[in-house]
Amino acid sequence: MSEEVKLERGVNYESVNFGPFVMGVKMPDHVTEGLLERGRKLNDPANKVLAGHIKKEHHYTIEDRDWFMKEIGYLFAHYRRAHDEYHGLDHLLHNKHGMNGFNIEVHLHDLWVNFMREGEYNPPHNHSGDLSFVTFLKLPSWEEELKNHIANSPPPGSLVFQNELDATPQYSQWKTTNAKMFPYIGVLWIFPALLSHVVYPYKTPGERISVSGNLIYTNRDKFPKNYF
């Protein structure tokens, strides 16, 4: 189940109502295209620090990370505001005039690209930091495979979030355990870094190119007490 909401600066996003707040938003086309162009030039393997059973994974450069945050870094502040409203925490940082003078500062700690091929997959895992995200740059022509998928399981190539956070006070009201996301080019999904997720394999020849990253709050110590 999802809900579409609009924030300031004309940002339309979709939230997933299953527990931990997951926000989906369409990136500008030039950012999607830029990530793909820059990603194809990379040669710094990331496999040793990632969970995926994927042969080709590469770190973006510092220059690439700076460019990415300059283009869409504001979306992560929007995520925090939407997250607080979703969980009833908005009174801690916000009032009717906005953020009570409090600026959320985030730092992009990691950014990498996955050139996933048929038969490859990402087992259940979570990330480091405070926030994580994933977006999709290219998908296989897998229409026939999807049409023939009749099993009671997520579609091939899909992303599934697994709610293992409901033992914490912030998420104790939620009981739904899974949320399935089918990839669409240019859609950015932002979620808590500790939220477990898995990527299912597919059989159709072709690339499923995705970009993921982790962020940390650099002014975490200035948040209100008991905020996290």
Residue-level pLDDT at 199: 94
**87 in Cβ contact with 21 (< 8 Å):** yes
Query: What value, to the nearest 5°, has the Cα angle with vertex 10 and ends 8 and 13?
Result: 90
Ranges under pLDDT 70 in the chain: 1-11, 17, 90-103, 164-176, 224-228
**Does the domain made of 2-219 have the CATH classification 2.60.120.620?**
yes
What digits encode the pLDDT tens for the residues 184-220? 999 999 999 999 999 999 999 999 999 999 999 887 7
Q: Quote the radius of gyration of the chain (alpha carbons, Å).
A: 18
- Which uninterrupted H or E stretch holds 11? strand 11-16
Chain centroid to CA 93: 23
Please give the pLDDT value at position 220: 75
Residue 132, pLDDT score: 96
The structure's pTM equals 0.85
Domain boundaries, the chain: 2-219
Minimal CA–CA distance to 115: which of 187, 35, 30?
A: 35
Instruction: Label the pairing between strands 57-59 and 106-116.
Output: antiparallel
